[in-house]
Chains A and B, each alone.
Chain A
Amino acid sequence: MLDPTFVDKLVERLRPEAVLVSPHHVLVYECDGSTAFRQTPDAAVLPATTEDVAAAIRTCVEHDVPFVGRGAGTGLSGGATPAEGGVVISLAGMNQLLELDLDNRLARCQTGIVNLQISKKVAEHGLYFAPDPSSQSACTLGGNIAENSGGPHCFKYGATTAHVVGLTVVLPTGEVVELGGPQDGVGYDLVGLFVGSEGTFGIATEALVRLMPKPESVKTLLAAFRSMVAACEAVSDIVATGIVPAALEMLDRPTIEVVEAGVVAAGYPTDAEAVLLIELDGAHHGMERMEREIRNACEARGAVSFTVARNEEEQARLWLGRKAAFGAMGRLSTDLYVQDGVVPRSRLPEVLEKVGEIAARYRIKVANVFHAGDGNLHPCIPYDGRDEEERHRVLEAGREILELCVAVGGSISGEHGIGREKSSYMDLLFSEHDLNLMRALREVWNPAGLCNPNKIFPTSHGCGEAMSLPSVAAVPGAWI
């Protein structure tokens, strides 16, 4: 329960309409896209300026109240969940593109701006913002910065960190700092360190982002395979040719079946064990050759069909299946557990085979739809959350899959972040020394520990927490 003087102070320093405390108003902030982690905040604040954010944080610090920044709440790891109650600071209203520097191809934006809006606003200049997490029509730049979000095209263009050069940050003490800028700086790369800190180093209110010129031409290809292993081997072969596709995505048979049974059937061959969705972009001159090389690589691995979209409409249709896959899985069961492990690309064949073995052993279904080009798996496990015994099996299988990823030299998260969801798995990857180094850095930025507490790091009650199985909101339209 909040101290009434705290709320009074917030109202006084911001505006009455910018402070929400009634239970039905704050309920919407109880979770993000990872719906298994719920905690209703005591209050929500809707700042309009950096100074508002600073005032809210200063008030929290004075009253020892935890706080967490939030964009659109589309995250999949519980990163924006107010794990210990307190205040949610929603940046959704700070959504303006403030300044466009065409000469340097940079845009200064408030961080509540929706990712896709940036590209829409600069499209007339032939530019776009490259990071494209699948939630890009809803997620905010601030959330992308917190999670260092990826997306299909980060295979070629890098994740969010490659596209952010400057930040205005309200530190967890309430102090406002400017970091980075349009030119190379001197000193430690604090912008690079901040991106991906999952909201534990402060709240970024403005960002200076790079814009890229739109490619002259784009080709979308679909290759179907009789075996998952062959499709995975084709991925490694394509990567080794030196041609860097803009995206290299894979869907397995269970996913294809779900997609094709849905209302948005993309026309994927239903007798295939796996399809590879490949996008090439760049100068027109190299396109034909690139397509030929990719086709050769796929056919050498026994591709049974190879489709090239002839126009934008066909491109969109090929992508439709990929984009609809996640939402379509909502039909399979009441709950869905989506993993985010990464493995070296060359280990994809054996890892996917073993994932199949794990699924069989635990009598669960796994549908794979993922960013094959960078080895970022998204095994989706449908289950019934009301069935305690099934939940337990899913949890055990999930842990084995993550252990497998780590065992082959991979990671437990490629783009969704650790948040609440995977904090108890961090010790699969990192030693206590490694974690202590990260904790030391968190203490530098966030000395009182009030800024997004109880995230990333395993806690003493980690074991019990791990038992609460993550489930994501697989609603139609959502994708991963």
Chain B
Amino acid sequence: MDLTTDGVARLLDEVGARPPTKTTPRIDGMTPALVLEPEDADGCARALALCHEEEMALIPVGGATRLGIGNLPARLDAYLDLRLLSGVEDHIPGDLTAALGAGTTLDAVQEALGREGQFLPLDAPDPSRATIGGILASGEPGMRRRPGGRPRDVLVGFEAVLADGTPVKAGGRVVKNVAGYELMKLVVGSLGTLAVLTRVFVRLRALPEKVLTLCCSARSARDASESWRRLRDLPLAPEATALLNPKASAALGTNEWSLLLRYEGLSEEIEGAATDVSERVKVEPASDSIWHDVRDFPTHGESDLCLRGQVAPARAFDLAHAWQDGGALMGLPDAGLVYSHTESLDALADRRDQAGRLSGTVVLEKVPSTMKRELDVFGDPPRGFSLMKRIKEKLDPRGVLSPGRFVGRI
């Protein structure tokens, strides 16, 4: 990009753009020519409008914790750093809702809500840096799968800026609302390709009175699946379930497979659940801190490569079994997700075949940039891809928002 054009001069002048510094994070080895740090939503809209005029390609950035996900950017001229759009506003405990600046870190959100005994049921690696806008835009699946616990369930409304700088909003602050299209579902997981979130309205929960973590050891993934099935019909469903292979179970001091169960609720419910569970399978109590390892698993593994297999929930154990020869593996059976760290990409084709046989897909969560040139990290274009492409073209005809990074290199 030519930094001497009038357009860039205006950017530098009007919206306080600055060149990158040594600490500016890289994305697949690339750094942008400019970093824009708007102080508010208006500044964000002005920055986008100017970039759009200049056809500058831009990537919205929060805590830069997950820049490695997605395909190689097709172009990169500027970062739109949203961390100044920060703050927990309008938290009304009786409503169980709050408005959050998109640049607020997850830790800051939970700390503010926690003071009133509430929390946002989302999890993401590096919560001290990960921002709420980034977590929602990347569609971080999280480990909670009961109704209301997925990223798509917590977002009830948003304010955002479109590629050309137009400010828009959708949904609202209330927990039940069918006025207009469900644009919240569209932006969650869109990886910054359709709009830049500036403020989000979220649905909260009360902090549970009690949390209990139980660990059920198993000799194999199939063995673990037996236990999972035996526990499925119990009256209190676990808030999260995780499957760890022996390589991932080291923190638990075992060399077997582990099925972790997290229960949340009133103390009476938890005591009842503990009794019910131990009547059906052999379990040991485990530290609640193990869930931090589960949460961080995709990014904190020992390798440069991490795959995410996506299958129907009951097939997660089959996929874990098929993938057991790799490195550390963590599955979230209730979500049908299996994360696997591996040393090399040689086995990728096999892994994709194995997932394909279970009607699933494989996403490369973490992969060296050099390898991204040859492959699409999302695999083959999904069902409905032509509609997705048309949506992208309609909302961002100049292709300036995170070009190339998403599915099918949208």
Q: A336-348 toward B: CB 8 Å interface, digit per residue (1/0)?
A: 0000001111100
Q: A182-217 toward B: CB 8 Å interface, digit per residue (1/0)?
A: 111111111111011100000000000000110111
- Report the minimal beta-carbon distance from B390 to chain A, rounded to whole angstroms: 5
A329 partner residues in chain B, CB cutoff 8 A? none
Contact of B182 among A154, A180, A195 (CB under 8 A): A195
B237 partner residues in chain A, CB cutoff 8 A? 213
The reply on A239 being an interface residue by CB < 8 A is yes
Evaluate contact between A242 and B382: CB separation under 8 angstroms.
no
Q: Which of B147, B153, B272 has the most CB of A within 10 A?
A: B147
Evaluate contact between A286 and B269: CB separation under 8 angstroms.
yes
Contact of A429 among B152, B153, B179 (CB under 8 A): B179
Evaluate contact between A187 and B180: CB separation under 8 angstroms.
no
B153 partner residues in chain A, CB cutoff 8 A? 158, 162
- Report the minimal beta-carbon distance from B227 to chain A, rounded to whole angstroms: 15
Knowing A242-B205, A285-B272, A426-B179 touch, does A215 contact B189 (C-beta < 8 A)? no
The reply on B96 being an interface residue by CB < 8 A is yes
The reply on A283 being an interface residue by CB < 8 A is yes
Contact of A285 among B170, B269, B312 (CB under 8 A): B269
> Whole-angstrom distance between the alpha carbons of A159 and B175 in the complex?
10
Evaluate contact between A374 and B182: CB separation under 8 angstroms.
no
Evaluate contact between A189 and B173: CB separation under 8 angstroms.
no
Q: B242-275 toward A: CB 8 Å interface, digit per residue (1/0)?
A: 0000000000000000000000011011011100
Classify the secondary structure of A's interface with B.
mixed
The reply on B19 being an interface residue by CB < 8 A is no
**Range of interface residues on A (Cβ < 8 Å):** 35 or more
- Report the minimal beta-carbon distance from B401 to chain A, rounded to whole angstroms: 13
- Report the minimal beta-carbon distance from A300 to chain B, rounded to whole angstroms: 14
B175 partner residues in chain A, CB cutoff 8 A? 374-375
- Report the minimal beta-carbon distance from B340 to chain A, rounded to whole angstroms: 16
Evaluate contact between A440 and B174: CB separation under 8 angstroms.
no
Evaluate contact between B168 and A437: CB separation under 8 angstroms.
yes
The reply on A253 being an interface residue by CB < 8 A is no
> Which of B46-54, B206-214, B290-298 sits within the interface?
B206-214
B269 partner residues in chain A, CB cutoff 8 A? 282-283, 285-286
Q: How many residues of B contact A (CB 8 A)?
A: 84
A181 partner residues in chain B, CB cutoff 8 A? 312, 359, 383
Q: B175-194 toward A: CB 8 Å interface, digit per residue (1/0)?
A: 11111111111101110001
A411 partner residues in chain B, CB cutoff 8 A? 172, 174, 177-179
Evaluate contact between B169 and A444: CB separation under 8 angstroms.
no
> Which of A44-52, A61-69, A413-421 sits within the interface?
A413-421
Evaluate contact between B384 and A186: CB separation under 8 angstroms.
no
> Which of B56-64, B87-95, B278-286, B345-353 sits within the interface?
B87-95
Evaluate contact between B180 and A189: CB separation under 8 angstroms.
no
B176 partner residues in chain A, CB cutoff 8 A? 150, 154, 159, 342, 371, 374-376, 414-415
Interface residues of B in 383-410 (CB under 8 A from A): 383-385, 387-388, 390-391, 394-395, 406-408
The reply on A179 being an interface residue by CB < 8 A is yes
Evaluate contact between A179 and B147: CB separation under 8 angstroms.
no
The reply on A6 being an interface residue by CB < 8 A is no
A414 partner residues in chain B, CB cutoff 8 A? 174, 176-178
Knowing A283-B272, A286-B272, A438-B183 touch, does A188 contact B190 (C-beta < 8 A)? yes
| Minimal Cβ-Cβ distance residue in B for A237 | B94
The reply on A80 being an interface residue by CB < 8 A is no
B388 partner residues in chain A, CB cutoff 8 A? 187-188, 190
Interface residues of A in 402-445 (CB under 8 A from B): 409-418, 422, 426, 429-431, 433-435, 437-438, 440-445
B337 partner residues in chain A, CB cutoff 8 A? 184
B363 partner residues in chain A, CB cutoff 8 A? 186
Evaluate contact between A346 and B94: CB separation under 8 angstroms.
yes
Interface residues of A in 365-400 (CB under 8 A from B): 371, 374-376
Give the interface of B toward A (CB within 8 A): 92-97, 117, 141, 147-148, 152-153, 162, 166-170, 172-186, 188-190, 194, 205-209, 232-237, 265-266, 268-269, 271-273, 310-315, 335-337, 359-361, 363, 378-379, 381-385, 387-388, 390-391, 394-395, 406-408
The 9 lowest CB-CB distance pairs between A and B, nearest first, are A242-B206, A192-B185, A285-B272, A236-B94, A216-B235, A182-B312, A283-B235, A286-B269, A346-B94
Provide a sorted-by-A list of 28 A–B residue pairs whose CB atoms are within 8 angstroms. A104-B315, A148-B178, A150-B178, A183-B311, A183-B315, A183-B360, A186-B361, A187-B381, A187-B385, A187-B406, A190-B387, A192-B185, A193-B185, A195-B182, A196-B178, A217-B235, A239-B96, A240-B96, A285-B273, A286-B266, A375-B175, A409-B172, A411-B177, A414-B178, A418-B179, A433-B167, A441-B181, A442-B181
Other than the given A177-B384, A434-B170, A444-B394, 11 more pairs (CB < 8 A) read A150-B176, A183-B359, A185-B383, A188-B186, A189-B185, A241-B206, A286-B265, A342-B172, A411-B179, A413-B177, A430-B169
